[in-house]
């Protein structure tokens, strides 16, 4: 009985939507969550994203956060 109840509850949790969903797309059709990078050369990685148009965002602990306008 307990096993059946556990399976039933687990199946309900699988069907439920995740609490953190990707935001709706912007006017260009772009929607994205976030990425985490573990890199050897932080300065080169930062320069790459800044060259693509990323701007510094609010700091998050010891991590540097970059974001793109409109995303």
CB 50 within 8 A of CB 66: yes
Q: Indicate the pTM of the whole model.
A: 0.51
CA atoms of 71 and 67, how far apart (whole Å): 7
Per-residue pLDDT of 1-26, as tens digits, reads: 777 777 766 666 665 555 666 778 88
- Angle at Cα 19 formed by Cα 18 and Cα 24, nearest 5°? 90
CA distances from 55 to 7, 28, 38, 58 (A): 47, 19, 19, 10
Res. 37: pLDDT tops 80: yes
């Amino acid at each position: 009985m307990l096993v059946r109840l556990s399976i039933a509850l687990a199946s309900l949790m699988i069907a439920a939507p995740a609490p953190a969903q990707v935001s709706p797309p912007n006017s260009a059709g772009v929607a994205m969550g976030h990425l985490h990078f573990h890199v050897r050369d932080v300065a080169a990685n930062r320069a790459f994203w800044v060259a693509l148009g990323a701007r510094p965002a609010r700091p998050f602990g010891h991590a540097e956060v970059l974001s793109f306008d409109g995303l």
